[in-house]
């Protein structure tokens, strides 16, 4: 596979002194937009065509051939879909535009959030052929993400050349999804087609060279589109005079309308809708114009909440190019040689080469504690200004190609290499203002994948590989399970697991995927007794210990209770702790190997000792033999781990989710409304039935439902 550009994927080019427009001085000459949308909407292809259209690359590559700029990651090429945020910039009308391509696959939601963090606005891409194929659910989920990030958006209707392309249907779907959000979606372009349906052009409705948008004598349907746009703009305008002249039939100035468009976009009350047909090159320039004219500059970005390195309060960080330097690592990737490349967004000040910066680690990125662990210690360890880091060169990325630039100003995005221990989410700042930006939330990884290494050297390789992954894979959680002794990689889904395993193997670790083991325990079904005889008296120092114990079940959660009821000194005091130790060790190891016995009371009732041959060790062995016999005689009940699960689901899918939970032996504890049109279901589900729930729930509900899980307690195996 490995496309033609793979070999030179880490070219380093030295740009001109201002990097050929790649290092603007003034944030007003910058636009950073995240490209977001469902899988296969054509985002990566669009980025490629925009770059070619603006002359940033000689010609557009293709996703299927693995030759695009932003799908430069080997895993992206192999999967033929984006797996990480990737930045490519171009210049259009003297404006530097950073395009931050993001993955559409729900597994990589964390990467979408990273992309949104780097941007000031969103180009939301929806394929016009997908409207009928359940695009509403992923569109809705991703639009909600953009809204949560608080960024203005432009809706791009893509793939106009598809034979089932239906712009009106795609727009209707998006309008339905956006209903209630206060955003008005209005087309700003018109698609022209030949008689056979081929797209010939996509033209802006507010075209200074086109006919007057407010004139009366244009063709009927064109007129309708323009009228809708003009009326929407006037409705949203703060300029009262505009409405008056519109009502009285006077021509309205195009410049005024454009200004109103930009204002309404920045306010997020209006989402302009533009069509593109990437392969035909139609609508590309119009879209770039729209980004320049209607998308707000970085200086309009709302200030970001921040904290002092010691966790105390700090003023929010405003987007000020003349302020102190504050930047953030939004993503960490690797180049073809395996060296780390950090994608950095500058929020304030100016990042220059050859400087030493302070690193303020993001407490949110400290690995999540295991069930029951005290999280406080871990969180504290991750807090604060950890160290300083030397920045050598500053690069403007074009996918994997890094072009050296003299600086990176507030609002711009750059790549830095060799930042040592600096991780995604860390804040980089100058000494004059030590600050940490409040991190963005990561999605929870809920799909466990157990891996084993074949031998000792593979184990070492795996440990090295996992350490390397920790820096780049922010959503991955690595668990060393103390009950099952398995290494479990918690992933967000199968596509994520695929990437994680490929990267582990690329790091030289031969790992095998095995079934995830589920810890089990046993308790006794009823009371019983057992005799332990450990007697060896032939030759030398003998061994002599005999004990009888009784076992009985206790309520759940009681653990193991040991009671000594020896009378008359049939077992001397000094040996009783030995019996207890032997009993507890055997119960801990389990009578069925790997299943500790819990919730029992063991009572020592009788025994025999020898004045010379008895010892603590002998009584340990006798205790263990006695309890083994007692457990076998009592019969056991297997218990499994029960989890408290909370599923948030669209009301339309509630029945499906409840039915599925029942088939998993889940017990629904309650349901309650969780916002408009959705329900929160609380249930208790055995761990075994949850192992693939992350994958199953997503496919059952087209990705609209989400869940959380928390260990509750052990319970007898359902139906077992
Ligand atoms: N015919 C046609 N195919 C497209 C267009 N845009 C994308 N594709 C194809 O659709 C598939 C998915 O495109 P991609 O850019 O990876 O989508 P992404 O997941 O949104 O980044 C690829 O095979 C592209 O070649 C388009 O405008 N027209
Ligand atoms: Mg893509």
DSSP states of 191-243: EEE-TTS-EEEEEETT-TTSS-TT-S-S-HHHHHHHHHHHHHHHHH-S-HHHH
Low-confidence stretches of the chain (pLDDT beneath 50): 1-19, 217-218, 367-385, 720
CATH number at 461 reads 3.30.70.870
CB distance 706 to ligand 1 below 6 Å:
no
Q: Are residues 659 and 686 in the same domain?
A: yes
Domain boundary among 437, 463, 496: 437
How close is the Cα of 300 to the center of ligand 2, in Å? 28
Q: Are residues 407 and 458 in the same domain?
A: no
CB distance 583 to ligand 1 below 6 Å:
no
Strand runs labelled E in 463-599: 477-480, 487-491, 511-514, 520-524, 528-536, 543-553, 560-564
Chain centre distance of CA 497: 12
How close is the Cα of 42 to the center of ligand 1, in Å? 4
pLDDT at residue 364 in the model: 63
CB distance 43 to ligand 1 below 6 Å:
yes
Mutate to test the pocket of ligand 1, among 34, 39, 40 (most ligand atoms within 8 A of CB): 40
- Is position 699 within any domain? yes
Q: List Cα–Cα distances, 91 to 32, 283, 393, 395, 657, in angstroms.
A: 12, 17, 22, 16, 48
Reference 507, options 339, 329, 342, 366; nearest CA is: 339
Q: Are residues 92 and 145 in the same domain?
A: yes
Residues of the domain holding 535 = 521-634
- Is position 404 within any domain? yes
Q: Are residues 165 and 149 in the same domain?
A: yes
Burial class (CB in 10 A: 0-12, 13-18, 19+), 118: buried
Q: Are residues 109 and 133 in the same domain?
A: yes
Q: Are residues 544 and 427 in the same domain?
A: no
Q: Are residues 664 and 553 in the same domain?
A: no
How close is the Cα of 103 to the center of ligand 2, in Å? 5
| Nearest atom in ligand 1 to 162's CA | 1
The residue nearest atom 13 of ligand 1, judged by CA position, is: 42
- Is position 375 within any domain? yes
Domain boundary among 300, 322, 344: 300
CATH number at 82 reads 3.40.50.300
How close is the Cα of 40 to the center of ligand 2, in Å? 7
How close is the Cα of 626 to the center of ligand 2, in Å? 64
Q: Are residues 555 and 506 in the same domain?
A: no
pLDDT at residue 680 in the model: 96
Q: Are residues 513 and 525 in the same domain?
A: no
Q: Distance between CA 329 and CA 414 in Å, rounded?
A: 10
How close is the Cα of 127 to the center of ligand 1, in Å? 9
Q: Are residues 146 and 273 in the same domain?
A: yes
Reduced to 3 states, what is the DSSP secondary structure of residue 403? strand
pLDDT at residue 385 in the model: 47
Which ligand is located closest to the Cα atom of residue 64?
1
Q: Distance between CA 623 and CA 619 in Å, rounded?
A: 6
pLDDT at residue 719 in the model: 59
| Nearest atom in ligand 1 to 47's CA | 15
| Nearest atom in ligand 1 to 277's CA | 27
CB distance 104 to ligand 1 below 6 Å:
yes
Reference 364, options 475, 489, 218; nearest CA is: 475
How close is the Cα of 19 to the center of ligand 2, in Å? 27
- Is position 250 within any domain? no
Mutate to test the pocket of ligand 1, among 3, 36, 41, 42 (most ligand atoms within 8 A of CB): 42
How close is the Cα of 297 to the center of ligand 2, in Å? 25
How close is the Cα of 669 to the center of ligand 1, in Å? 44
Domain boundary among 582, 615, 634: 634
Please work out, in degrees rounded to the nearest 5, the angle formed at the alpha carbon of residue 150 by the alpha carbons of 428 and 292: 85
Q: Are residues 548 and 650 in the same domain?
A: no
| Nearest atom in ligand 1 to 278's CA | 27
Q: Distance between CA 99 and CA 490 in Å, rounded?
A: 30
Number of domains forming the structure of the chain: 5
The residue nearest atom 12 of ligand 1, judged by CA position, is: 40
pLDDT at residue 467 in the model: 82
Write out the residues surrounding ion ligand 2, Cβ under 5 A. 43-44, 82
């Amino acid at each position: 596979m490995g496309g033609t550009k793979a070999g030179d994927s880490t070219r380093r080019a030295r740009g001109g002194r201002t990097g050929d427009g790649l290092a603007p001085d003034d944030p007003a000459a910058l636009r950073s937009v995240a490209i977001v949308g469902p899988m296969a909407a054509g985002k990566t292809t669009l980025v490629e065509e925009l770059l070619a259209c603006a002359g940033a690359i000689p010609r557009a590559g293709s996703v299927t051939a693995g030759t695009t700029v932003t799908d430069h990651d080997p895993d992206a090429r192999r999967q033929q879909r984006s797996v990480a945020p990737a930045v490519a910039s171009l210049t259009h009308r003297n404006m530097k535009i950073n395009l931050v391509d993001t993955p559409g696959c729900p597994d990589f939601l964390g990467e979408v959030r990273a992309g949104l963090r780097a941007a000031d606005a969103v180009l939301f891409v929806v394929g016009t052929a997908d409207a009928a194929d359940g695009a509403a659910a992923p569109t809705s989920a991703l639009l909600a993400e953009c809204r949560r990030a608080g960024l203005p958006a432009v809706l791009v209707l893509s793939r106009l050349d598809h034979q089932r392309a239906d712009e009106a249907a795609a727009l209707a779907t998006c309008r339905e999804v956006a209903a209630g959000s206060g955003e008005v979606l209005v087309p700003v372009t018109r698609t022209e087609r030949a008689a056979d349906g081929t797209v010939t052009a996509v033209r802006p409705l507010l075209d200074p060279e086109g006919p007057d948008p407010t004139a009366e004598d244009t063709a009927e349907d064109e007129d309708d589109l323009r009228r809708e746009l003009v009326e929407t703009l006037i409705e949203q305008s703060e300029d009262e005079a505009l409405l008056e002249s519109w009502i009285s039939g006077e021509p309205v100035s195009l410049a005024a309308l454009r200004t109103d468009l930009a204002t309404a976009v920045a306010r997020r009350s209006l989402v302009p809708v533009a069509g593109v047909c990437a392969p035909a090159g139609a609508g590309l320039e119009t879209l770039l114009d729209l980004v320049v004219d209607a998308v707000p500059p970085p200086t309009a970005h709302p200030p970001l909440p921040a904290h002092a390195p010691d966790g105390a309060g700090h003023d929010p960080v405003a987007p000020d190019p003349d302020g102190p330097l504050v930047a953030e690592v939004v993503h960490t990737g690797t180049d073809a040689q395996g060296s780390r490349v950090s994608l950095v967004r500058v929020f304030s000040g100016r990042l220059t080469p050859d400087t030493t910066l302070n690193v303020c680690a993001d407490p949110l990125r400290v690995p999540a504690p295991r069930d029951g662990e005290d999280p406080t210690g871990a969180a504290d360890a991750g807090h604060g200004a950890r160290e300083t880091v030397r920045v050598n060169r500053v690069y403007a990325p074009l996918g994997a190609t890094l072009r050296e630039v003299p600086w990176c100003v507030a609002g711009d995005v750059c790549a830095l290499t060799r930042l040592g221990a600096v991780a995604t989410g860390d804040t980089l700042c100058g000494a004059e203002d030590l600050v940490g930006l409040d991190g963005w939330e990561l999605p929870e990884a809920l799909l466990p994948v157990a891996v084993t290494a074949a031998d000792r050297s593979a184990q070492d390789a795996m440990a090295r590989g996992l350490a390397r992954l920790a820096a780049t894979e922010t959503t991955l959680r690595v668990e060393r399970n103390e009950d099952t002794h398995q290494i479990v990689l918690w992933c967000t889904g199968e596509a994520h697991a695929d990437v994680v395993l490929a990267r582990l193997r690329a790091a030289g670790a031969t790992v095998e995927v095995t079934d995830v083991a589920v810890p089990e325990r046993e308790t006794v079904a009823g009371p019983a007794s057992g005799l332990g005889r450990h007697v060896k008296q032939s030759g030398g120092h003998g061994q002599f210990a005999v004990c009888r114990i009784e076992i009985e079940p206790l309520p759940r959660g009681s653990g193991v209770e040991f009671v000594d009821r020896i009378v008359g000194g049939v077992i001397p005091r000094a040996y009783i702790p030995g019996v207890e130790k032997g009993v507890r060790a055997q119960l801990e190891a389990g009578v069925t190997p790997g299943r500790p016995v819990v919730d029992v009371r063991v009572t020592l009732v009788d025994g025999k000792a020898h004045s010379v041959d008895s010892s603590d060790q002998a009584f340990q062995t006798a205790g263990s033999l006695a309890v083994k016999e007692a457990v076998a005689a009592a019969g056991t009940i297997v218990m499994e781990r029960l989890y408290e699960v909370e599923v948030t689901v669209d009301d339309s899918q509630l029945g499906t989710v409840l039915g599925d939970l029942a088939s998993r032996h889940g017990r629904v504890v309650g349901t309650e409304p969780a916002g408009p049109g959705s329900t929160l279901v609380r249930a208790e589900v055995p761990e075994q039935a949850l192992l693939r729930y992350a994958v199953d729930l997503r496919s059952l509900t087209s990705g609209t439902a989400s869940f959380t899980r928390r260990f509750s307690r052990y319970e007898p195996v359902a139906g077992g």
